[in-house]
Amino acid sequence: MSPHPALPNPGLGTYRLEGETVRNMIHTALKLGYRHIDTAQFYGNEADVGAAIAESDVPRDEIFVTTKVWHDRLQPDDLKASVDESLERLDMDAVDLLLIHWPSPGDEVPMNDYMLALRDVQQAGKTQHIGVSNFTRAQVDQALDILGADTLLTNQIEVHPFLQNRNLVAHCQSHDIAVTAFMPLAVGKVMEDATLQQIAAVHDATPAQIAIAWLNQLEIVTFPSSTKEANLKRNIEALDIILSNEEMAEIATLDRGERIANPSIAPDWDQ
């Protein structure tokens, strides 16, 4: 059961994967039961993602597809053109979720302009849901002021045991905005953590599975990335793991504000 009815969990992250690698991973994931695939203009793999979905035996309407508009395409006309380009690469009439990948650096494009353009794309039937990614609490509030309540499905942000982002998570959830977590395994660092290793041993699981189970219990949807079938299978099985209150409290102590995705275009974080 997903923490959010509209968002299948876990999803499949495709960042840094292209060509046969990403196509084979998607085929394997769909075979295992994944129904949520996350891509972006910036990933350069929309055509591969679309081809893999088209080749699959799973009907398109059973797969939840997310893509994202890159920060250099936020001028309203350009945003709309970029979405048409994404759909052409994906070979789809519409995606299930369209996100603003990063808020406009330094507010070069006013948020009012690109959020209204995002809504226009939704009203044109090119995406079922809209949302944001890497938005701060203040930016979430600004976006809601522009579009109104109950308009944004999600804020996709970095969350893992070492960057728990509690204030932002709580703020989004208080506005009925689902939190979707990228880099849930902290690019593999969870595997090396002694606390997660100890909890994993109790559950006959891996530290990665514990991190996914932890997010699931916090009602956060995630999409770990792996090209290995065994790991893809374990990531789904992680959702069956129930952590005790004591284990959840132990993981809470691991937060050290370790932000991995912090490019020069990032906003001033207000966590």
What are the catalytic residues? Answer: 43
Which residue shows structure tokens 């905005």?
177
Please say whether the dihedral angle defined by the alpha carbons of residues 31, 35, 41 and 47, taken in this order, is positive or negative: positive
What residues form DSSP beta bridges with 100? 69, 132
Q: Show binding-site residues for substrate.
A: 101
Mention every residue, 6+ apart, whose C-beta is less than 8 A from residue 88: none
The Cα 67–Cα 46 span in angstroms is 8
Q: How many CB atoms lie within 10 A of CB 166?
A: 13
Q: How many CB atoms lie within 10 A of CB 211?
A: 31
Q: Show binding-site residues.
A: 101
Residue pair 201/162 in contact by the 8 Å Cβ criterion: no
The Cα 124–Cα 108 span in angstroms is 26
Residue 184 dihedral angles phi and psi, to the nearest 5°:
-65, -20
Tell me the C-alpha to C-alpha distance, in Å, between residue 253 and each of 223, 241, 248, 250, 257: 23, 20, 9, 5, 11
The Cα 224–Cα 232 span in angstroms is 8
Map residue 187 onto helix, strand or coil. Answer: helix
* DSSP 8-state code for residue 138: H
Residue pair 67/41 in contact by the 8 Å Cβ criterion: yes
Q: Which amino acid is at 233?
A: K
